[in-house]
Structure 1
Amino acid sequence: MKKASFRDREIVVDILCQAFVDVLIPNSINYVVKNSGNRQKRIKALMEYQFDMSILYGTIFLSENNKGCILYLDNAKFSLKRIILELKLVLTCIGIENTFKVLKREKLLKNFHPKENFVHLWLMAIVPESQGTGIGTQLLKESLEYYKNKLIYVETTTPENRTFYTQNDFVIFHETFKLDYPLYFLTKV
């Protein structure tokens, strides 16, 4: 595992796009991405936003073979740069007409954020042909070592991901079905 830098942006965005572009089930990504227009372009805009936010306000780790990545947020403070990134996301991915729907989702998520300081495991991805090979487990374990003794928080939408996190010592503390898909909220110390 290696810590990513801005020079790794294209690699990380490509991993994220490959992992999520063909996932069409109801989930957080598909809830945010506007349905009309070029899906690939909108997914790429979302992944660029997530990379930029994580490189500015967290940490990104890459597997040694550049087949997987994990993005954390640990200091997503309010700033002019953040406002610019969010406006760009609205225009290139969400669409103005979906903004209130996405803001409602964000409010729901924040209601279940831990009250104490935490690190947000924001997104994890393995390219499709390498999924199930152990890259994700290794990446998760090594990146958690970086945040040793910190409260780690993650939300996920699929039973498979929920199982993956619980097998890696995360604990579910809340579930909700208020959106078009299930949301599982987990933590690990």
Structure 2
Amino acid sequence: MKKATYHDRKRVVDILCQAFIDVLIPNSINFVVKDSGNRYKRLKSLMEFQFDKSMLFGNVFLSDDNKGCILYLDKEDSGIKNLLLEIKLLFTCIGLDNMFKVLKREKLLKNFHPEEKFAHLWLMAVVPEQQGNGIGTKLLKESLEVYTGKLIYVETTTPENRTFYTQNGFEIFHETFELDYPLYFLKYV
């Protein structure tokens, strides 16, 4: 595993887009990506946002073979840079008509964030043709070593991801079906 730099932005965004472009089930990404217009363009905008925000307020790690990535947030995400990233995301991905729906979702997520200091495992992906080959497991384990002793928090929407995280030491502390998809909240200490 290696820590990504801004030079890796295109590579990371490409991994994320490949992993999520054909995932059309109700989930957090599809909840945020406006469903009209060019899906790839909107998805790419979301992934660029997540990369940029993780670089400013956390860490981005790439697998040694550049087939997987994992994004963490571990610092306060306030300030003008964050505001500008969020405004750009609103116009390039979410759309004004979806803004209140997405804000409601964000409020729901924050209600279940741990009260103590934590690192947020925000997003993880492996290119589709390499999924199931252990890249994600290795990347997760190596990245967790960076955060040894810290509380790690993640939310996920699919039973498969929930199983993946629980098999890797995470425990579910809450689940909800308040949106049009399930949300599982997990932590790792």
- 2: CA distance between counterparts of 1:153 and 1:180? 22
> After superposition, what is the alpha-carbon deviation per residue over 1:12-37, rounded to whole angstroms, capped at 9, x for unaligned?
00000000011000000000000100
The one-letter amino acid paired with 2:9 is R
Q: Which residue does 2:108 correspond to in 1?
A: 108
- 2: CA distance between counterparts of 1:26 and 1:187? 23
SS of 2:64's equivalent in the other structure is coil
Matches within 5 A, 1:45-64: 45-64=45-64
The one-letter amino acid paired with 2:20 is F
Q: Is the 8 A contact 1:53 1:76 kept in 2?
A: no
Q: Is the 8 A contact 1:60 1:69 kept in 2?
A: yes
The one-letter amino acid paired with 1:35 is D
> After superposition, what is the alpha-carbon deviation per residue over 1:133-181, rounded to whole angstroms, capped at 9, x for unaligned?
0000000000000000000000000000000000001000000000000
> Post-superposition shift, 1:43?
0.2
- 2: CA distance between counterparts of 1:69 and 1:77? 21
Deviating beyond 4 angstroms after TM superposition, the runs of 4 or more aligned structure 1 residues are none
Unmatched tracts of structure 1, length 5 or more: none
Q: Is the 8 A contact 1:58 1:76 kept in 2?
A: no
Confirm whether residue 31 of structure 1 aligns to residue 41 of structure 2.
no
SS of 1:76's equivalent in the other structure is coil
> Post-superposition shift, 1:77?
2.5
> Post-superposition shift, 1:7?
0.6
> Post-superposition shift, 1:124?
0.1
Q: Which residue does 2:83 correspond to in 1?
A: 83
Q: Which residue does 1:184 correspond to in 2?
A: 184
Q: Which residue does 1:22 correspond to in 2?
A: 22
- 1: CA distance between counterparts of 2:96 and 2:51? 22
**TM superposition score normalised by structure 2:** 0.99
> After superposition, what is the alpha-carbon deviation per residue over 1:20-68, rounded to whole angstroms, capped at 9, x for unaligned?
0110000000000001000000000000000000000000000011000
The one-letter amino acid paired with 2:172 is I
**TM superposition score normalised by structure 1:** 0.99
Q: Which residue does 2:134 correspond to in 1?
A: 134
Q: Is the 8 A contact 1:67 1:126 kept in 2?
A: yes
> After superposition, what is the alpha-carbon deviation per residue over 1:57-92, rounded to whole angstroms, capped at 9, x for unaligned?
000000011000000000132110000000000000
Unmatched tracts of structure 2, length 5 or more: none
